[in-house]
Structure 1
Amino acid sequence: MGTGKRGLLTAAVTVVCAVTVLAAPGTAFAAPKPTPGTSATPSATPTPPPSKDLEKVREKLDRLYHDAAVATDSYNAAEERTKEQSARIVALAKKIVAGQRKLEKLKDQAGAAARAQYRSGGLPPTAQFLLSDDPQQFIDGAGTVLNGQRATTKLIAEMTRTQKELQGYADDASAQWEKLDANRRAKAAAQKKIKQQIAEAEELESRLEKKEKERLAALEQEAAHKAQTRWLDTGILKEIDSKASQQGRKAVEFATAQLGKPYVWGAEGPDSYDCSGLTSHAWADAGHPIPRTSQEQWKQLEHVDIKDMRPGDLIIYFDDASHVAMYVGDGAIIHAPRPGRTVTVAGAGSMPILGVVRPDA
C-alpha cells in the first residue's frame, strides 16, 4: 500500500491491510499447506471436490438473496416516497387551514360592507352619489365611490383566488393520499417478497449438514476470489491512483467504524445496515446527503470511470443496480453483503460491476 493510500484510509488501514491478498494482481489462491509436525497418511481420505448439487445450492442462494436485495431496494424507495408524501400532505393541510381562515376573514369584510349599505338606507354608494345636490358632497362622493368600487373588486378577486387555491390544495392533498396509499401497498408487497426470499434461503441452508455448509462457504469464497483476481488481472489498479476528497475520507472512516455490524434489510443504522443504508448514512455523516437506495444512487449521482475511482466513491453492482459498496482503496470495498452477514471488507471486483458514482463530484 503506497504512502498516499495510507493517508487516505486512516482508520481503515488495518482492515484493508488484512485483505492485501485481494489487491495483488494475479494472486493464486492456493490450498493451505499442512500444519508443520503433521503428515498425510496413506489412509487419509482427500477432501472430495464440490458436488454439482452443492454448486446448484450456491447459485440458488445467490438468486434468492439477489431477489431479496431487489425487493429491499423497492421497499426503501417506497419508504422514502411515503415520507415525502406524508410531509407534503402535512404542508397542504397547513395551507388549507390558513386558506380557510383567510376566506372567513374576507367573508367578514364582505358582510361588513353589506351591513354598512343596509344602514345607509339600502342605497348603494353609487346611487347616493348621483342623487346628491351638494357639489362638494358630489366631488367627495366620486372619490368614495371609486375607492369603494376598487375595494369591492379587490375583495371579490381575493375571495375568488382564495377559493381556487383551497380547491387546488384539496385536489393536491387527495392525489397525495392516493400516492401514499399506493406506496404503502408497494412497501407491503416488497416486505412480503423480502421475507419470502430470505425464509426460503434460510430454509435451504438449514437442510445442509455442517460439512456441506463449510464447503458451501468455501465455494462462495472461491467464486469471489476468482472474480476479484480476474478484475485485478486487467491491471486496473495501475490506473486507479486518485486520492480521496475530504468528505470522501470522512465517509470511509464512518463505513470502517461499522465493520462487524449485522446486515438487516431496510436498516440504516446505527446498529445495523443494508447495503444502501450504509453508504447513504456514511455520506450523510460526511455532510453530503445522497439518495437512500442503490438504484437512485446510480440514477442521480455523477458517474465516473473506474480508472478515475477514488476512496469514498460508490461502486454499483449487477445490471439492476441492486447492490452498492464503498470503495476504500487498494482494490477493496466495505459493504453490507446480505442477510446473515455483517458489514465487511471485500474485493471490489468480487461481484459484477455496473459502474461507479461519486457523491461529492
Structure 2
Amino acid sequence: MGSHRRPKPPSRSRLAVLAATAGTVSLLPTQSQAAPKPSVDEVRQQVEELYEEAETPTEEYNATLAKKTKLQKAANRTQERVADQQAEINEIRDKMGPVAAAQYRSGGLDSSVQLFLSADPDNYLDKAQTLDRMSSRQVALLHSLESKQRELTQTRAEALEKLTAAEKARKRLSGKKQEIQGKLGKAQKLLNSLTADQRARLKADEAKADKAAGTSDSSASYKGSASGRARSTIEFAYAQLGKPYEWGSTGPNSFDCSGLTGAAWRAAGVSLPRTVNEQYSAGRKVAKSDLQPGDIIYWYNDTQHNGLYIGDGKAIHAPRTGKNVEVTPLDSMPFFAASRP
C-alpha cells in the first residue's frame, strides 16, 4: 500500500536560490538580442568621421595656443617693467637716505622726510602748506617717487590682467585637448574592436588606397615647374613626406595640416598665421582654374583642413592621425577655396 505522506515542501533558502536562478536566466541576453559587431567597412567609416571631427577642435586648440603664448610673452614683458620700476623707486628711496641723515644731525628729521620714510607720500603732497619746509631736492625726489609709484601701480594691474587672460586661455587649451583626445580615443577603441585579421585587412585596404591616391614616399622629390619662393615652399614640403601627422605640431618631426603649410612657407621666408582659418583670411583668394604651385588649398570649408597645391591636379598635405605627410589628388576631398600667400 502506497504511502499517503505529503512531499516535504522546499525550504526558504531553496526557494530563494531557485528564484535568483530564474531571474538570472531571464536576464541573460539571447543571441538575437546581442548587438552585431560593426564590419570592417563600418569601422573604417566611423574612424574617418571621428578623425574628421577632431580637425575642428584641433584648429581651435592651435589658435588658443598661439593666443596664450602671445599673452604669456606680454605678461612676462610687463612683469619685467614692474621689476624695473620697483628698482627705480628703491633708488629714489636710497637717495633720500643722506638727506634724512643730514637733517637728523642738524637737529632732527624734517616732518616731510619723516612722513616719506614712514608712509605713502601722496597724502602729504596734498598738503601744500608743508612744501615750504622742504628743500627743492626733497620736493623733486618726492614728486618723482609719487609719479613712479603711480606708474608701478598701473603696470602691476596690466601684468595681472595679462596673466589672468593667459590662465583663461590655458584652461581653454585643456578643454580642447580633452575633446581631441576623446575623439581619437573613440577611434582607437573602434580599431581595437576588430580582430587581428580584420585589422590586417583594414591596413592593406588603406595602403592600397594611399597608393592609388598619391604617395608618402620620403625619397620622392619635386620635379614641377614652380620657381622662386613657391618652389622653396614645395621642396620643403616634399622633404617632410612620410613624417607623421600629429595634432598641434608644426615640425620638425611631425605636423598637422596648417602646421605643414605654415612651416613650408616659413622656409621660403614668408610668415603665415598658425591656423587654417587665419591662413585663409590672410591670403589672396584665387579661383580653382587659376591655381599655381605653392597656393594653399582648403578642403571642406575655411576652418578644417588645408594643404599645398603642387601642380598637375595634386596637393601635398598632412592628412590626419595615423597617417603621414603625403601627395594626394586635388579632388580627393571636397575643394572649398584656395589662397596665395
TM-score normalized by the length of structure 2: 0.67
Q: Secondary structure at the match of 2:270?
A: coil
The residue identity in structure 1 corresponding to 2:338 is V
Deviation, structure 1 residue 219: 11
| Correspondent of 2:248 among 232, 244, 266 | 266
The residue identity in structure 1 corresponding to 2:251 is G
Distance 1:183 1:289, change over 3 A: same
| Correspondent of 1:336 among 315, 318, 323 | 318
Distance 1:313 1:123, change over 3 A: same
Residue aligning to 1:92: 78
Contact 2:230 2:268 in 1 (8 A): yes
- What pairs with 1:180-329 in structure 2 (closer than 5 Å)? 180-208=166-194, 209=198, 213=202, 217=206, 244=226, 246-319=228-301, 321-329=303-311
Residue aligning to 2:120: none
Where does the alignment leave 5 or more consecutive residues of structure 2 unmatched?
1-37, 111-131, 215-224
Residue aligning to 1:107: 93
Deviates more, 1:59-68 or 1:272-281: 59-68
Q: Structure 2: how far apart are the matches of 1:252 and 1:192?
A: 33
Where does the alignment leave 5 or more consecutive residues of structure 1 unmatched?
1-51, 125-144, 226-242
Deviation, structure 1 residue 324: 1.3
Residue aligning to 2:337: 355
The residue identity in structure 2 corresponding to 1:292 is R
| Correspondent of 1:82 among 68, 74, 98 | 68
Residue aligning to 1:232: none
Contact 1:205 1:213 in 2 (8 A): no
Deviation, structure 1 residue 245: 5.6
Residue aligning to 2:47: 61
The residue identity in structure 2 corresponding to 1:162 is K
| Correspondent of 2:161 among 169, 175, 194 | 175
Residue aligning to 2:7: none
How much is the aligned-residue C-alpha RMSD, in angstroms?
3.4
Distance 1:86 1:211, change over 3 A: closer
Deviation, structure 1 residue 273: 1.4
Which of the pair has more CA radius of gyration? Answer: 2
State the Cα deviation string for residues 275-333 of structure 1 (Å, max 9, x = none): 11211111222222222222222233443343443222211222351211011112211
TM-score normalized by the length of structure 1: 0.64
Q: Secondary structure at the match of 1:346?
A: strand
The residue identity in structure 2 corresponding to 1:182 is K
Distance 1:154 1:316, change over 3 A: farther
Tell which has more relative contact order, 1 or 2 (C-alpha 8 A, sep 6+).
1
Q: Structure 2: how far apart are the matches of 1:314 and 1:60?
A: 28
Contact 1:55 1:219 in 2 (8 A): no
Q: Structure 2: how far apart are the matches of 1:323 and 1:292?
A: 13
Q: Structure 1: how far apart are the matches of 2:255 and 2:177?
A: 16
